[in-house]
Structure 1
Amino acid sequence: MSDDVLVACKLPHGIYLDVGKQRVKLNGVMQSGRLEAPFFTAPAKSVGLTKVPRDFWEAWIKDHQEFEPIKKGLIFASDKKKRLLDEADEKSEFKSGLERINPSKLPNSLEQVKAGQVE
């Protein structure tokens, strides 16, 4: 059994996990290397991946089962990268609420204002 586990994070900029005096930074979607022009958005199935010591992850997850990103399926782990990426595909519709807005697909309640435009 490996001493590490691979953790996936669907939050844009990742998050710091603390256990005692130890701290691990999880990579977020913006570090996934899968950003697409023109708005530098990541595909829905993108996740940031971070190798984390197994004992650290098990201690952290034990104390954070009610943490909203865990409950929403935005942070999850596996021993196998393929299994983790398959799970990311399954969770592609899960949203953090921090995703970028595509200016060409604004909600009806918003309109784009051009620089210098005065009303």
Structure 2
Amino acid sequence: MATSNNTVTVLCRMPSGLVLDLYDETALAARAADARRGHGAMAAPVPRASVRLAGARRDPRYHPRDNRLLGMAGRTEVPADFWAAWCAQNPDFAPLRHGLIAAERTAERAASWLREHGGTRTGLEPLDPDALPVVGVTRRDAA
């Protein structure tokens, strides 16, 4: 999957993906000012652009039967200017800060990033059914 100079490959390690919304900051500031002046209820803001990121379940190696997500990530080509603007608008977004979503200039660099960071647990991996604690009747409870 080759990328052009005006796109980046965004990796999303969240299982079901994520929708990134970009808002007009001037319109958001105007809405906030209206709310402070008491001008009625506010409707939800309308994004000026949105991108849906493919999640880890869209990784070509993912198989639903195994349900293994560690080391997997969805890959989405995103316009570079959208990505830069979205990152500037959401610098404290937890998935961005903690490496659940990341971008690289090329698909090859994205694959390299995933090889390097893919072994880090995200906390979103499914539980191993063979490693679950046994819950049930103990000898003391049976007596």
Q: Counterpart in 1 of 2:8?
A: 5
**5 Å matches for 1:89-108?**
89-106=115-132
State the secondary structure of the residue aligned to 2:62.
Answer: coil
The percent identity for this pair of structures is: 30
Aligned with 1:32 (options 29, 35, 59): 59
Does 1:17 pair with 2:40?
no
Task: Report 1 or 2 for greater relative contact order, CA contacts < 8 Å, sequence distance ≥ 6.
Answer: 2
* Aligned-residue RMSD, C-alpha: 2.1
Q: How many residues align?
A: 110
Gaps of 5+ in 1: 114-119
SS, match of residue 7 in structure 1: strand
Name the structure with the higher helix share. Answer: 2
- Normalising to structure 1: TM-score of the pair? 0.81
Query: Structure 1: which 4+ aligned runs deviate by more than 2 Å?
Result: 36-40, 93-96, 110-113
The structure whose Rg is larger is 2
Q: Which runs of 5+ in 2 are unaligned?
A: 24-47, 137-143
> Structure 2 vs 1, CA of residues 2 and 111 (structure 1 numbering), >3 Å: closer, same or farther?
same
TM-score (norm 2): 0.68
Q: CA deviation at 1:39?
A: 3.1
Q: How many angstroms does 1:19 deviate by?
A: 0.6
Query: What is the deviation of 1:36?
Result: 3.7
